[in-house]
Structure 1
Amino acid sequence: MGLNSLIFNIQMVKATNLRYCIYKYLGAHGHFHDVPDEKYLNKLCKYFYGKEMDFNDPQTFSEKLQWLKVNNHDPLLTKMVDKYEVKKYVADKIGESHVIPCIGVWDNAEDIDYDRLPDAFVLKVTHDSGGLRIIRDKKQCDVEETNAFLNSRLQRNFYYAGREWQYKNVKPRIIAEPYVDTLGKSSSVEYKITCLNGKVEFITVCKGIAHSRLDFRTNDFYDRDLNRLDMVTNYYANSKEENVMPQCIKDMINASEKLAQDFPTVRVDFYVDKDDYIFGEMTFYTWDGFFKFIPGDWDFKLGQKLILPEKR
């Protein structure tokens, strides 16, 4: 384990608590697979929030996210979190120019023909979160290590850690995408737009390096009209800076709502490259639905706005 990974794990324990982290780690690594989703999630709720939730009468935003995991098994969700399949869906909705093209797809790492890839590229597994390698210079790429990492991720079913049903049946594959210079840096900015009932509820301006240490990233929250909100979560601090929104922010808001129409809630991620917006991913349960708003009344206010669908 590298130093940054060790620091991240320590930060996660501080942001949550040790029992929650241990139980979730064990769940992700082969334990509790026979435990029903509702029972497993209740245990996580007890460790994270200090109490089990009422699946018959969820009230807060975080409670309703747990309810949706157990009761909303729309097959379309699986397509939306498949990093290969989602591209065509998004291109059809908001235009191909806003989607990073796929320059290769493989079932295992040994099939990757590195000679045919450009000098800089990104390799991702299609079925989880954080399973990627950014290759800025192919000549410096450790192919053996990269393949070992990707193959290890292919063996992982991301569903078991937080019981996000949509990941359970995604076909594990590897895709290659062109490298985008604006991502993966301390100066990188992403715009994560959370929709409730098909409408934008709040926008998170994320600055820093994704899938890394918590102190390498900040989050600032805005409403649909770009007014700053007095909101923070237990994971990332606010930047305490004013953010200059890109000229295409309204277009990103409209694109988010086009993509959100079929779902009770979804977070649509974008970044800006060459003054235009590029689709990142669709996330249905941020942090597996386990996070705390500060002030805490945001959880209840957002929960009252979210309309739950019929069970399916």
Structure 2
Amino acid sequence: MLSYFEQKIRSRKNKFLSSIWPTPFLFQKKPLKKSGITPNILQPQDYRDLVLKTMAFPDNEARAIVCDKLALRGYVEEKLGDGYLPDLIDVCEHFEELKLHEYPVPFVLKPNHASGCLHLVFSAEDLAEIDEETECWMEYRHNEAVEWVYRNIEPRYFVEEMLCDNNNHPLPDYKITCFFGEPVMIWKDTDRFGTHYQDIFTPEWEPIKAQLLYPGSPDIKPDKPKTLDRMLEIARILSKGFSFIRVDLYSDNEKIYVGELTSFTEAGNFVYSPRDFDQHLYQLYLEHRDRWISKQRKHYKIKAMQKLKKADTPSY
């Protein structure tokens, strides 16, 4: 943990840098207020710092493709084939084009260009909640200087089937954090639109004693999903090419559906408890980075050596 003196020095350094180089430091205030710790954007010390650094300095433009929820569907189909997405019911540019009373319930209405906006429609009664605010979704824009992945997305409304279990409850959400194409952590979100519990596991389904946004389940350890191995395989496929990304999946223990690919969890405005778990995640990131670099070097050296021309052995 940084001392008060070290915090003040870093804070003043960031304040000075923001006056001459504003964009990378526009978003440090919220994380600072939430955690009490000044982000180290230029030299990350934990996973949150890494997220903020990547928000400031783009590392892979493909993040902007998978951030568009409609473009993501095409990305998933290209990588996995058919059968891994909720049914797409409608896409509209204008609110008045939506045929809300004609769509089969339950369904989900959301925009393709924004995070945190959606309506769950279980019955005709829920349509009353779709109000003027929803009409303004097409005008909504993230701060593109802060979250560059949202830049220039053509906004659309789209309607998908709602993924529910036999009791008409939304399926549990499995959010798999990957570093360099390898899963390192799984969040299981249950009852997301009710009490909302969040349990954190290793890829081997061992509980991790850490908490982020919501408390863990009060009951016994949640059962390991039957589809876990395939979910991890899907996460590897979809996260390939990204230094870090979160692959959000749903499963009913038979089928698996892709929800989103998330680059910037909570826009970097998060705090793990215990605090040092964030540092542990960053160390995992560094280990996976070094392993990936070593593997790539070996791969390309082998390719280079295959072209080595051997000198003819003289005959006697």
For the aligned pair, the TM-score class normalised by the smaller chain equals: 0.7 to 0.9
* Equivalent of 1:306 in 282, 285, 296: 285
1:174 counterpart = 2:141: no
Deviation at 1:187, TM superposition (A): 7.2
Q: Provide the C-alpha distance between the structure 1 equivalents of 2:176 and 2:25, rounded to a whole number of angstroms.
A: 30
Deviation at 1:274, TM superposition (A): 6.5
What RMSD, in angstroms, separates the aligned Cα atoms of the two structures? 2.6
* Equivalent of 1:238 in 213, 216, 227: 216
Deviation at 1:193, TM superposition (A): 0.6
Task: Report SS of the residue matched to 2:88.
Answer: coil
1:155 counterpart = 2:139: yes
Q: Which runs of 4+ in 1 moved over 4 A?
A: 183-188
- CA pair 182-129 structure 1, distance change in 2 beyond 3 A: farther
CA contact (8 A) 1:246 1:275 kept: no
Q: Provide the C-alpha distance between the structure 2 equivalents of 1:153 and 1:285, rounded to a whole number of angstroms.
A: 21
1:52 counterpart = 2:52: no
Which residue of structure 2 lines up, in the alignment, with residue 129 of structure 1? 115
User: Identity of aligned pairs, percent?
Assistant: 23
* Equivalent of 2:208 in 213, 229, 236: 229
Cα shift readout 1:217-240 (whole Å, capped 9, x = no counterpart): 11111111111111112x211114
Deviation at 1:185, TM superposition (A): 7.4
Which residue of structure 2 lines up, in the alignment, with residue 17 of structure 1? none
CA contact (8 A) 1:123 1:133 kept: yes
Task: Report SS of the residue matched to 1:103.
Answer: strand
AA matched with 2:58: N
Q: Provide the C-alpha distance between the structure 1 equivalents of 2:131 and 2:241, rounded to a whole number of angstroms.
A: 36
AA matched with 2:236: E
Task: Report SS of the residue matched to 1:113.
Answer: coil
Deviation at 1:198, TM superposition (A): 1.3
Counterparts in 2 of 1:266-285, with a 5 A limit? Answer: 266-273=245-252, 275-285=254-264
Which residue of structure 1 lines up, in the alignment, with residue 274 of structure 2? 295
Counterparts in 2 of 1:209-228, with a 5 A limit? Answer: 209-210=192-193, 216-228=195-207
Which residue of structure 2 lines up, in the alignment, with residue 38 of structure 1? 24
Cα shift readout 1:126-172 (whole Å, capped 9, x = no counterpart): 1112211122224x3546x6252322222111235x92221232221
CA contact (8 A) 1:220 1:238 kept: yes
Which residue of structure 2 lines up, in the alignment, with residue 248 of structure 1? 227
Task: Report SS of the residue matched to 2:164.
Answer: coil
Q: Provide the C-alpha distance between the structure 2 equivalents of 1:207 and 1:69, rounded to a whole number of angstroms.
A: 29
- Tell me which structure has the larger Cα radius of gyration: 2
Cα shift readout 1:252-276 (whole Å, capped 9, x = no counterpart): 0110010101211111111113621
AA matched with 1:173: R
* Number of residue pairs matched by the alignment: 267
Q: Provide the C-alpha distance between the structure 1 equivalents of 2:252 and 2:133, rounded to a whole number of angstroms.
A: 28
- Structure 2 gaps, min length 5: 1-20, 291-316
Q: Provide the C-alpha distance between the structure 2 equivalents of 1:102 and 1:82, rounded to a whole number of angstroms.
A: 15
- CA pair 229-112 structure 1, distance change in 2 beyond 3 A: same
- CA pair 154-94 structure 1, distance change in 2 beyond 3 A: same
| TM-score, normalised via structure 2 length | 0.76
Deviation at 1:182, TM superposition (A): 3.3
- CA pair 142-98 structure 1, distance change in 2 beyond 3 A: closer
| TM-score, normalised via structure 1 length | 0.77
1:259 counterpart = 2:238: yes
CA contact (8 A) 2:34 2:271 kept: no
The 10-residue stretch of structure 1 (124-133 or 176-185) with the greater mean CA deviation from structure 2:
176-185
AA matched with 2:147: E
- Structure 1 gaps, min length 5: 1-34
Cα shift readout 1:200-227 (whole Å, capped 9, x = no counterpart): 00111111124x7xxx211111111111
Cα shift readout 1:94-116 (whole Å, capped 9, x = no counterpart): 23201113121111111113465
